[in-house]
Amino acid sequence: MSSSQNGRAAGEQGGLQPRYRRAFGCVTWLYMAMLTFLTANFFISLAFRYFGGEEVYNYVPPTLAYLGTVALVPGMVFAAVLGARTYRAPRRVAGRVGAGVGALIGFSGFLSLVWISAALGFAERDQAFRSGTFADVGGVAFYLFPPLTLAAAVLVVIALYSKGTDPSRRWRLGLAGAGLAVLAGVGLVLSDPDAVGIAAVLISAVSAALAGWVGGAGGYARAGGDEMIPPGSAIQPREPRPKPR
């Protein structure tokens, strides 16, 4: 074995393990996804400003910026654990799954913020929450929202993180979680329907779907390098770069 090969082998042994590199890569792409989320919701809201939707523009970007700030640190933890526990996936599949999970996070995350604001009376304490949007949510849907959303989150997390579960079962768990999340969210929205609030929910879901696609297609599908390609996968290893002359 040549000295260059010895040096390369020593470098590989002394570096991070592939699954930790993948975890780091997933966290890095989470930052990219968050930037996509903030950029997308701003520009979508900006379009409302020029077509008579000034209230949407004034309400959505600050609220979703707050949501993104709150979700960033937990998102980093979940991204790191997900990267360490999983293998790479085909880019198209990872993008679709990322977009779906992102849409759920944007939908349920925004409405969770609405629920917490109403439950804790933020509108009475902080001027930032005195918009009047979803100010009178209540009824049975208000009390069912937390358990249904929590159950949906558990199902989606199991679908994403369980390595030994059959793929079709994971798919069914994810769909069941999505159905519960939509049921809980629609019920909360219908308890106090508001045009600005409905627009905000849709903008949050669409922006988070775009962010999820970026994180899935860019990070989940690529992080970790060739060492994290699962056995029997159709993913092609990267070709080695030509050596400089």
- Its domain, for residue 167, covers 17-225
CA distance 2 to 200: 61
CA distance 48 to 37: 17
How many domains does the chain fold into? 1
Cβ burial, residue 198 (10 Å; 0-12/13-18/19+): middle
pLDDT tens across the length of the chain (245 residues): 444 444 444 444 456 787 888 888 888 889 999 999 999 999 999 998 888 788 888 888 888 998 888 888 888 998 888 888 877 778 888 889 899 999 999 999 999 988 988 888 766 665 556 566 777 788 899 999 999 999 999 999 888 887 767 778 888 999 999 999 999 999 999 988 888 889 999 999 999 999 999 988 887 777 777 676 766 666 766 666 666 66
State the Cα angle at 200 between 197 and 203, rounded to 5°.
155
Task: Supply the pLDDT for residue 236.
Answer: 62
Is 127 among the domain residues?
Answer: yes
Task: Supply the pLDDT for residue 5.
Answer: 42
Is 238 among the domain residues?
Answer: no
Is 208 among the domain residues?
Answer: yes
Task: Supply the pLDDT for residue 15.
Answer: 64
Torsion of CA 165, 166, 168, 174, to 10 degrees: 10
Is 163 among the domain residues?
Answer: yes
Task: Supply the pLDDT for residue 244.
Answer: 61
CB 100 within 8 A of CB 178: yes
- Note the pTM of the prediction, 2 decimals: 0.83
